[in-house]
């Protein structure tokens, strides 16, 4: 958990300030029983009302100072814990943002959500508890032991037995409880995962009448979480009564020993009352310590889970002296092979091709042939296993990632829109885009007509994921979002699958104008989408099985002819 050192260094001064007021508050609490013993042994015994009033005034004054210290300490502790939690959550989110696809895939989405919310909250609560109870409890415990010993050295021998027993109970509490609370956090992950799957697939679930099945899944996960938490709390519940029982046995022993000394005339009643009060303070402080250690057990499990993300090494290494890509982009693949993990089967094998500004390159092939894997290497979402991907003649591993991706616009297979207006979504491509620029991009993507038909036009608010749009409408807005960016490299990854043939033809016509000033890569399974491309690459099982124009491939590439025949339903003559 070394990642926490950053926050320790930043907040240590405020933490120590809170500890100072906490110590002052504890000192005020420790003085109360001693003053009470003097009131009994001197004031009441001698019927000295002035002394009683004087001591009572002192008690009120000390209580007032303690209350002021408590208020100041509460303000500081709340401020520090809230700032710490906010900063930790922000840093964790930023870390996730910097990770590559491969690194993020090591963690389930639901698990990352739990770590950002519940785990950070558990850690934050522990930090707050440290400045409220964890420091005060030992101070009260140690102070009470000292004060009790000064009052009655003989009776304080009971503490030599009681305190070590309670410390041992707390130790067992920590050792046994930690694994259980780690299981609790994993159970929360599972429940969040089931909930997320249901919410993201609600249309499919309703379409197939699988609501009952999903309810059962949720109930199973919910029940697992409840059982896991119950087990954890049962284990932890043993220790609190054990601590209380030990303290009560100690109090009984103190009363018995004190009674003997009172009968012998060697001990005054006020000191016995004070001693019992100190015993209760020791009891309360030890109970607080036990409670804080319970918080610590949960916080430790959560902090370890946060640390797993903070400390994960990204699979994509940043360049030591990153370069910025130049204009007039070119792309070159040199003997590229790629696998999604070191031991996995390569999905791309010895891929080589070149394209430059003004060219439209189509990449076609069956499902699983490696089309999307090729374009994922250009913006460096993944690193090649062998070979090189060069943009403007420079290996992408030597380029500044942010600047590289600024020159590239990707329209993925799955259209993702965000909650907000249509204009807000289009401005993901260009933050300061005007309404006219958004309209021009939407016209090129054949989206302006349906957007303008909405009562609020481009200010129409979309539901989560663009739920109030059809699949084809979402794809057209995704294309418009890419076009508004004016990129040097435009990647269209099977992004017109939900668009009808007529609309797709209009989009292709618009893209021909855009492609004159950029490189356009079209990933598709439709020959109609790439028929006019300057270069078509035919992929089969991760290898280039053919390359050329549409006419050349019909003559030379059997796989391409088979695709053409399956889509157009007629044989192709290859003998001229």
Distance, CA of 196 to CA of 486 (rounded, Å) = 35
Write out pLDDT tens, residues 132-180: 777 777 888 888 888 878 877 777 777 778 778 877 877 777 777 767 7
Judged against a pLDDT cut of 70, whether residue 536 lies above it is answered with yes
Instruction: Report the mean per-residue pLDDT for the chain.
Output: 83
pLDDT of residue 574: 47
Judged against a pLDDT cut of 80, whether residue 261 lies above it is answered with no
pLDDT of residue 325: 66
Task: State the pLDDT confidence band at 576, using cuts at 50, 70 and 90.
Answer: very low
pLDDT of residue 284: 77
Residue 534, Cα to own-chain centre: how many angstroms?
A: 44
For residues 209-233, give the mean pLDDT: 85
Report the relative pairing of strands 330-338 and 348-356 from DSSP bridges: antiparallel
Q: How many CB atoms lie within 10 A of CB 234?
A: 10
**Residue 415 near residue 472, CB atoms below 8 Å:** no
Distance, CA of 430 to CA of 305 (rounded, Å) = 36
Task: State the pLDDT confidence band at 575, using cuts at 50, 70 and 90.
Answer: very low
Question: Which tokens is 532 given?
Answer: 């006019």
Write out pLDDT tens, residues 187-197: 887 888 888 77
**Residue 456 near residue 416, CB atoms below 8 Å:** no
Judged against a pLDDT cut of 80, whether residue 562 lies above it is answered with yes
Weakest-pLDDT range from 105-109, 308-312, 489-493, 542-546: 105-109
Q: Can you list the domains of the chain with their CATH numbers? A: 2-193+222-310 (1.20.1560.10), 322-407+487-576 (3.40.50.300), 415-486 (3.40.50.300)
How much of the chain is in helix, strand and coil states, percent to nearest 5? 65, 10, 25
pLDDT of residue 336: 94
For residues 370-379, give the mean pLDDT: 90
Weakest-pLDDT range from 36-40, 237-241, 415-419, 424-428: 237-241
Residues of the chain with pLDDT > 70, as a percent, come to 95
* 562 DSSP assignment: H
Weakest-pLDDT range from 210-219, 387-396, 508-517: 508-517
pLDDT of residue 304: 85
Judged against a pLDDT cut of 80, whether residue 69 lies above it is answered with yes
Question: Which tokens is 162 given?
Answer: 């009681």
Write out pLDDT tens, residues 276-307: 787 777 777 777 777 777 777 778 888 888 88
């Amino acid at each position: 958990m070394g990642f926490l050192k950053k926050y320790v260094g930043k907040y240590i001064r405020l933490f120590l300030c809170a500890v100072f007021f906490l110590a002052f508050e504890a000192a005020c609490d420790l003085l109360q029983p001693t003053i009470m013993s003097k009131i009994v042994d001197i004031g009441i015994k001698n019927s000295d009302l002035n002394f009683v009033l004087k001591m009572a005034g002192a008690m009120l004054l000390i209580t007032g100072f303690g209350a002021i210290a408590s208020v100041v300490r509460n303000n500081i502790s709340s401020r520090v814990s809230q700032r710490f939690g906010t900063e930790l959550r922000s840093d964790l989110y930023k870390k996730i943002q910097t990770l590559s696809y491969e690194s993020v895939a090591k963690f389930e989405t639901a698990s990352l959500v739990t770590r950002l919310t519940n785990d950070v909250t558990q850690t934050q609560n522990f930090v707050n508890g440290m400045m409220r109870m964890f420091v005060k409890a030992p101070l009260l415990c140690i102070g009470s032991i000292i004060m009790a010993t000064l009052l009655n050295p003989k009776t304080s021998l009971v503490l030599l037995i009681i305190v070590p027993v309670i410390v041992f109970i707390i130790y067992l509490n920590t050792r046994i409880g930690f694994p259980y609370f780690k299981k609790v956090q994993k159970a929360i992950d599972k429940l969040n995962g089931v909930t997320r799957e249901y919410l993201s697939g609600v249309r499919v679930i309703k379409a197939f009448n699988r609501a009952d099945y999903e309810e059962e899944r949720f109930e199973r996960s919910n029940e697992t979480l409840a059982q896991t938490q119950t087990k954890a709390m049962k284990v932890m519940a043993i220790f609190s009564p054990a601590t209380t029982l030990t303290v009560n046995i100690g109090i009984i022993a103190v009363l018995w020993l004190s009674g003997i000394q009172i009968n012998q005339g060697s001990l005054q009643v006020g000191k016995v009352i004070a001693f019992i009060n100190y015993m209760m303070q020791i009891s309360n402080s030890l109970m607080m310590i036990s409670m804080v250690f319970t918080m610590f057990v949960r916080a430790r499990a959560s902090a370890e889970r946060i640390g797993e993300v903070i400390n994960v090494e990204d699979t994509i290494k940043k360049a030591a002296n990153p370069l910025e890509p130049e204009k007039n982009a070119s792309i070159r693949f040199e003997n590229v092979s790629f696998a999604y993990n070191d031991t996995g089967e390569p999905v791309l094998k010895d891929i080589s091709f070149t394209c430059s500004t003004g060219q439209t390159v189509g990449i076609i092939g069956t499902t699983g042939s490696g089309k999307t894997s090729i374009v994922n290497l250009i913006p460096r979402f993944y690193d090649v296993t062998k070979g090189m991907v060069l943009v403007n003649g420079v290996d992408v591993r030597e380029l500044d990632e942010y600047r590289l991706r600024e020159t590239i616009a990707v329209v993925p297979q799955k259209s993702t829109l965000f909650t907000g207006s249509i204009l807000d979504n289009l401005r993901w491509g260009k933050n300061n885009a005007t309404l006219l620029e958004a309209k021009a991009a939407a016209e090129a993507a054949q989206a302006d007509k349906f957007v303008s038909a909405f009562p609020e036009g481009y200010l129409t608010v979309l539901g989560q994921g663009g739920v109030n749009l059809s699949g084809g409408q979402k794809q057209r807005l995704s294309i418009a979002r890419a076009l508004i960016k004016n990129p040097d490299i435009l990647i269209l990854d099977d992004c017109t699958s939900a668009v009808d043939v007529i609309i797709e033809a209009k989009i292709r016509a618009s893209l021909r104008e855009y492609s004159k000033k950029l490189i356009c890569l079209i990933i598709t399974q439709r020959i109609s989408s790439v028929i006019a491309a300057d270069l078509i690459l035919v992929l089969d099982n991760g290898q280039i099985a053919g390359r050329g124009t549409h006419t050349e491939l019909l003559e030379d590439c059997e796989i391409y002819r088979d695709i053409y025949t399956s889509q157009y339903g007629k044989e192709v003559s290859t003998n001229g």
